């Protein structure tokens, strides 16, 4: 007989957005925090069921110390069999209308990641499942080539890394991202990449050739220069020095490169804005951007748990400032303000960023990609022209 026990309830409890910072849970018996040893090297503290599940299942100690026998969370990778790889969007406050995500879920484990709620669509938890139960799209390069060759396809920049990181650790062996870049280079198609991994330097050969034709640009997110904070907040992402070195290598290779101070978290890393920009400028970067912390859906509670576990003395202050910048709420999804926030604190962060960029000579010019080189891939069985 198994000594592990579980408890299930229908209708998962949802904490109201208006709950004041620090208020106790209405369901204290449903604590879902995972033992530290089981989640070593992970960002989230818990693994609550997704919001679409009919039941919540929570392990609890039945007196036999059975929880201590549970294995640690290990990364597993399943195959995503999607039949299309290009995702479209019509959001008016972002500069692209299409994107590619080679992977679902992200092993970097950044606790603040706004993409975590997407794992609920798979029946999985936005918590530890998001960073340990991953899905790879090995057919992505072939599917991309097919979509680019479709009749009526009109090229515009494809963004990669806007949801989960294309250069997360499993890319080292799977090389799906590199396959995608090879397809885009052959087709002369523009691409913009966002990552926080130094693994992007592996593909400098392709990216530099594409950059010579104004087909590629890269943005690397540098959240903090504090190694302890980085290790705690984004445990499996590249270290800050590695990211700065990657910025330098990309810039030296002639690839348009942007440093992203993202996300800016008040009372946690906002004091580092100028230092990060200064370090990036010394690495040769000419462009910079920032994004304010976003806490949609389950991310709010995951970030709250993490903050209480690691920086309990800052908990109330951080959430007070967040609400000051979000119209009194933990998150405001309104287009046009969701990236930067509103109010005096948000204005101050924006102004500090602008002054630092002006002092360092950043953002004097913005790199622009072109579609002039695009040539549709030949579809299978299509007769090649003799001329």
Lowest mean pLDDT segment, chosen from 2-16, 23-37, 163-177: 2-16
Question: pLDDT tens, 68-111?
Answer: 566 777 899 999 999 999 999 988 888 899 999 999 999 999 99
Report yes or no: 234 and 111 within 8 Å, Cβ to Cβ: yes
pLDDT grade, residue 385 (50/70/90)? low
pLDDT at 19 over 50: no
Q: Cis link prior to 135 (omega < 30° from 0)?
A: no
pTM above 0.75, yes or no: yes
DSSP string, 165-176: -TTSTTHHHH-H
How far is residue 223 CA from its own chain's centroid? 12
Nearest to 59 by CA among 2, 105, 11: 2
Task: Tally helices (H) and strands (E) across the chain.
Answer: 11, 12
Read off the pLDDT of each residue in 297-318 and give the average, rounded to a whole number: 96
Q: Based on C-alpha coordinates, what's the Rg of the chain?
A: 22
Read off the pLDDT of each residue in 143-171 and give the average, rounded to a whole number: 97
Read off the pLDDT of each residue in 106-117 and give the average, rounded to a whole number: 96
Long-range contacts of 340-346 (CB under 8 A, 24+ apart): 340/291, 340/292, 341/292, 345/266, 345/321, 346/292
d(CA 116, CA 52): 14
Question: pLDDT tens, 258-272?
Answer: 999 999 999 999 999
Residue 281, φ and ψ in degrees, nearest 5: -60, -40
pLDDT at residue number 40: 80
pLDDT at 12 over 60: no
Higher pLDDT, 383 or 112: 112
């Amino acid at each position: 007989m198994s000594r592990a026990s579980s408890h299930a309830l229908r209708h998962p409890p949802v904490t109201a957005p208006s709950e004041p910072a620090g208020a106790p849970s209405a369901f204290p018996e449903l604590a879902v925090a995972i033992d530290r040893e089981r989640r070593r090297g992970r960002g989230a503290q818990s693994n609550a069921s997704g919001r679409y599940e009919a039941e919540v299942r929570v392990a609890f100690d039945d007196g036999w110390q059975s929880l201590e026998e549970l294995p640690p969370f290990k990364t597993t990778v399943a195959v995503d069999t999607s039949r299309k790889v290009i995702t479209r969007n019509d959001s008016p406050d972002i500069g692209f209308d299409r994107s590619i995500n080679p992977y679902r879920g992200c092993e970097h484990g950044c606790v603040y990641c706004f993409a975590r709620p997407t794992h609920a669509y798979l029946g999985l938890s936005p918590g530890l499942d998001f960073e340990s139960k991953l899905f790879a799209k090995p057919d992505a390069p072939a599917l991309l080539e097919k979509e680019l060759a479709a009749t009526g396809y009109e090229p515009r920049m494809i963004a990669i890394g806007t949801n989960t990181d294309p250069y997360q650790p499993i890319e080292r062996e799977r090389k799906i991202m590199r396959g995608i870049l090879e397809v885009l280079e052959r087709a002369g198609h523009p691409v913009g990449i966002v990552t926080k991994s130094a693994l992007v330097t592996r593909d400098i050969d392709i990216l530099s050739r594409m950059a010579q034709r104004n087909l590629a640009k890269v943005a690397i997110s540098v959240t903090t220069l504090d190694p302890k904070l980085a290790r705690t907040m984004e445990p499996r992402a590249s270290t800050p020095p590695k990211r700065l070195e990657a910025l330098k290598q990309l810039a030296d290779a002639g690839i348009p490169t942007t440093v992203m101070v993202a996300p800016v978290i008040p009372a946690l890393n906002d004091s580092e804005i100028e230092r990060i920009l200064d370090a990036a400028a010394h690495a040769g970067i000419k462009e910079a951007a920032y994004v304010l912390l976003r806490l949609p859906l389950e991310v709010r509670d995951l970030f709250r748990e993490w903050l209480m576990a690691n920086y309990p003395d800052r908990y109330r202050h951080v959430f007070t400032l967040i609400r000051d910048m979000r119209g009194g709420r933990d998150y405001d999804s309104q287009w046009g303000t969701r990236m930067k926030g509103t109010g005096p604190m948000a204005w101050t962060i924006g102004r500090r960023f602008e002054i630092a960029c002006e002092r360092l000579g950043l953002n004097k010019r913005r790199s622009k990609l072109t579609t002039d080189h695009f040539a549709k891939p030949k579809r299978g069985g299509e007769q090649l022209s003799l001329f």
